[in-house]
Amino acid sequence: MFATQHYQAISDKPMHRMPTSLATRQLVSGVDVRVYRLVTVTVPGSGAEPERLLLALQRNHALLDYLAQRMSSSERPVRTSAELDEDAIELARRHALSVDYVRRMLPRDVRQPNALLRPFVLRAVRTERIEVHVTNHTQQPMQLALLDDDYAIQQAVEQPPLQPGEEGVYTWRCSETGIFPIFNQACPDGMQHRCLLGVLMVEP
């Protein structure tokens, strides 16, 4: 796999306090580093909406594939409890996950809102450094970037976009508190507001 390294400072945004999210912590050269292991995926849109790109935890990749498959098939949007139990057991066995965890994530009606299909939220504390290890599981180039106060993408270092199947590492230094939307700078349609992948929230 092709790996890239990207360094980016974060500009000032309004303060927003949120609890920490799922990530591992490391101490590298005296700097507290929060490490996220993520994937970018494509999920079907609801109704007439186009398909969307999202960031997600690596461990949820199989669950998102499952949801996308169910959403693409409009014949049976609702599953019985017994069917969901069977699906959870098979997914957990195939992907080495907890059956209880998988079962909690499987919706009875796939048409209802689901937390896994929302833009992913990364959380950190000011002075931390974030490493985002991401694998591109979409069919288009991917280049993570943060949006600043002036609605212009901040890109401190030029790097080639991640092609489908490639892995890369983005490093963000959290020098300021704020809320920072994460976009795909390599979005081929050129409409950034359609490419929201997630949000970075930095606490004091």
Which listed CATH number (3.40.1280.10, 2.60.40.420, 3.30.70.260, 3.30.70.20) goes with 5-42+117-203?
2.60.40.420
Distant-in-sequence, close-in-space partners of 13: CB < 8 Å, separation ≥ 6: 148, 149, 176, 177, 178, 179, 180
User: Rounded to an integer, what distance in angstroms lies between the CA atom of residue 174 and that of residue 165?
Assistant: 28
**pLDDT for the residue numbered 75:** 77
Coil, helix or strand at residue 152: coil
User: Rounded to an integer, what distance in angstroms lies between the CA atom of residue 18 and that of residue 55?
Assistant: 19
**pLDDT for the residue numbered 34:** 87
**pLDDT for the residue numbered 11:** 43
Q: Report domain extents, the chain.
A: 5-42+117-203
* Selection from 192, 141, 147, 189 nearest residue 168 by Cα: 141
* Selection from 81, 99, 101 nearest residue 90 by Cα: 99
**pLDDT for the residue numbered 179:** 85
Mind listing the pLDDT tens digit of every residue in the chain (204 residues)? 444 444 444 443 333 333 344 667 665 556 678 899 999 998 887 656 677 888 999 999 999 999 988 988 777 889 999 999 999 999 999 999 999 999 999 999 988 888 888 889 999 888 888 889 999 999 989 988 887 654 443 444 567 889 999 999 988 888 778 888 888 888 766 554 457 889 998 888
Distant-in-sequence, close-in-space partners of 55: CB < 8 Å, separation ≥ 6: 38, 39, 40, 119, 120, 122, 134, 182, 197, 198
Burial 183-201 (b: 16+ CB within 10 A, else e): bbbbbeeeebeebbbbbbb
